[in-house]
Amino acid sequence: MEKEEYAVVLDYLPNGYPLEKKMIPIVQAIGEKNLTLLELVPRRGTSFEIGERVYIGEGKRDKVYYILGRLPREKLTESGKAQLEEFLKKVVEERESEFVEFFNKSTAINKRVHQLEFLPGLGKKHMNDILKQRQEKPFESFEDIRKRIPNLPDPQKAVERRIFKELVDRERYNLFAK
């Protein structure tokens, strides 16, 4: 897995977490490439805007002192979750072809369950319709999927909700978040 170069700020806690003894400032962020939730420690005298893109790669970082590690799901603040939803909407839009490819290439996990069924709102019927349609011709966009599968919940929103769920809840199978 490639290392993250940039992260987007989900929340900034200048005094750290309210109930913890250590009062170190914390930035809750998400890595742009791998969609990893991260805790960052800012350099002294810096402040952060929600939604700001910060460099976390190798070498000199102007605003981030160090990466504390992965952000535990249960520590993500409510405003961090709201920001995460906004961020995911953008990511899924910008990387549409990557997620449409999931509809074209997803496979069965075992005899009873297919990856497509993990998308919120999709059941066996939608899964079968998708599999049949993609055999005739691969999907080209979310719009293409919507047009060819009647009554399908919005595929873009389904992907956004699934990624959010993988990051915030404990999921047995992660389709998108590493």
Q: List pLDDT tens digits, range 72-94.
A: 999 999 999 999 999 999 999 99
Neighbouring residues of 27: CB distance < 8 A, sequence distance ≥ 6 = 9, 11, 12, 13, 39, 40, 41, 42, 48, 54, 64
What is the number of other CB atoms lying within 10 angstroms of the CB of residue 64?
20
Q: Catalogue all structural domains in the chain, each as residue range(s) with its CATH number.
A: 6-72 (2.40.50.140), 95-168 (1.10.150.280)
Quickly state the pLDDT bin for 3 (edges 50, 70, 90): confident
Q: In what order do the strands lie in the sheet with 64-70?
A: 53-55, 6-13, 26-31, 37-42, 64-70
Nearest to 172 by CA among 122, 121, 118: 118
Q: List pLDDT tens digits, range 156-178.
A: 999 999 999 999 998 888 899 87
Nearest to 175 by CA among 90, 105, 75: 105
pLDDT score at 22: 80
Mean pLDDT of 43-68: 94
Share of the chain above pLDDT 90, in %: 84
Q: List pLDDT tens digits, range 108-120.
A: 998 889 999 999 9
Handedness of CA 15, 81, 71, 156 (dihedral sign): negative
- The answer to whether residue 10 scores a pLDDT higher than 70 is yes
- Both tokens of 127, joined, read 């899964």
Which DSSP helix (H) or strand (E) runs through 38? strand 37-42
pLDDT score at 132: 96
Q: How far apart are CA 2 and CA 147, in angstroms?
A: 35
Q: Give the 3-state secondary structure percentages of the chain, helix then strand then coil, rounded to 5.
A: 40, 20, 45
Quickly state the pLDDT bin for 1 (edges 50, 70, 90): low
Whole-prediction pTM value?
A: 0.91
